[in-house]
Chains A and B, each alone.
With several copies, the nearest count.
Chain A
């Protein structure tokens, strides 16, 4: 194993991972953030950089979570958390809301995932074929519909199993949909030749990253 520098690697924590994604979202994009770590991305986009956040339940232009004493019980996001609405935000019904998603009007969707394959396949809704009460929500619509799908997830499971794979073993959410993966270890584009590493956590070498990754990685500077 060429993994000689384990002690020096500084994997990103969750806040840093969310901030890393936020850095890459330009003003003016319409963005849907999935449940879990992706939701935190919004906290790292400054309000003066106007990014318009969409939620499946008919909310466009979400702002930050309200202080506890200013909660509006009628205003939740798809994760059922209380949110606020920015000036310029609006409400619509579910079919119209998913027209935004399915009609290709979102510039970006950021989802969590169990696995991403080098072909861009994503598995993020069920961990086995016989999951009790599988729950897909809007993930398949978002994955198939948004102009860009980025995945934000830990690079490996808790037991060290790679989540970037040659081929997904879990049930798919969408085929060939992922454009980029942000993990605690790296930023990786999904291209025609497979995974291409754009950026790595401090202290990490390409070889060390490959050692933690089942799928073959390509260097971004090639």
Chain B
């Protein structure tokens, strides 16, 4: 019997290695796998590259992971937040590397990694700092920049429902990057609000099919304001 549901955080985090690239879902506080990020903090892996839309708020979650010196590099579109003190302090001190990526290019690079596309062209960033040093090419009279896929060794996902095969649904704007990073991660770990019996999720409504999921941990934390 396939059972991707793990019973505790230690099992969820097992095997994450130093030097890993970790893709993290969520946009703002919504759909952010907070429990898994805390799990990663406890698990101890270091020298990480983290790809996430934002770069942490306050001194918890991603910001805490950075504050502990465990993040070598962050790849994101928007490192600013209501309280970006940890990231900004590290960044100014030259203690963290930043790769800033337009949000759509970030999503598309992750999707490409999941879809077997090593590189693609986009109009986003042409003629800007984001296009500098990258290959430019004209198609049908318009200039595009070549961008590379962004795969993850690990993807941390927050879902609304999950079953033992790893099928997932998401709630409203909690979907955001989560299905995309699930495709792009070699080891995709999910925290879910609800566990469903196999077959309980309508097969037409599955958003992330289990093929993209390795481990599921039940974390019924409530809503994003609860953190």
Q: Do chains A and B touch in the complex (CB under 8 A)?
A: yes
Which residues of A are at the interface with B, using a C-beta cutoff of 8 A?
27-28, 30, 48, 50, 52, 54-61, 72-76, 78, 80, 85-95, 97-106, 121, 132-141, 144-145, 171-175
Give the residues in chain B near A134, CB-CB below 8 Å. 79, 100
Chain B contacts with A in 124-168, Cβ cutoff 8 A = 124-130, 163-165, 167
Residue of A52, A94, A104, A121 ringed by the most chain B CB atoms within 10 A: A94
Further pairs besides A102-B116, A137-B77: 18, Cβ < 8 Å: A56-B103, A61-B165, A73-B224, A73-B225, A89-B203, A92-B175, A95-B107, A95-B180, A101-B116, A105-B114, A106-B211, A132-B92, A133-B79, A133-B80, A133-B98, A137-B102, A171-B129, A175-B128
Of the stretches B5-13, B33-41, B63-71, B83-91, the one at the interface is B83-91
Chain B residues with a Cβ closer than 8 Å to the other chain, count? 72
Query: Within the complex, which residue of A94, A101, A136 is in contact with B78, where a contact is CB–CB below 8 Å?
Result: A136
User: Is B119 interfacial (CB-CB < 8 Å)?
Assistant: no
Q: With A and B bound together, what is the CA distance between A72 and B125 in angstroms?
A: 34
Check if B115 sits within 8 Å of A91, measured CB to CB.
no
CB distance from A92 to the nearest CB of B (A): 6
A138: which B residues are within 8 A, CB to CB? 77, 102-104
Which residues of B lie under 8 Å from residue A27 when comparing CB positions? 1-2
Known: A90-B167, A91-B204. A145 touches B116 (CB 8 A): yes
A94 & B177 in contact (Cβ 8 Å cutoff)? yes
Contact A75 B172 (CB under 8 A): yes
Q: Which of A57, A104, A133, A141 is close to B27, meaning CB atoms less than 8 Å apart?
A: A57
Sampled A-B contacts (11; CB under 8 Å): A52-B165, A90-B167, A92-B209, A94-B176, A95-B111, A101-B104, A133-B88, A138-B103, A139-B102, A145-B123, A174-B126
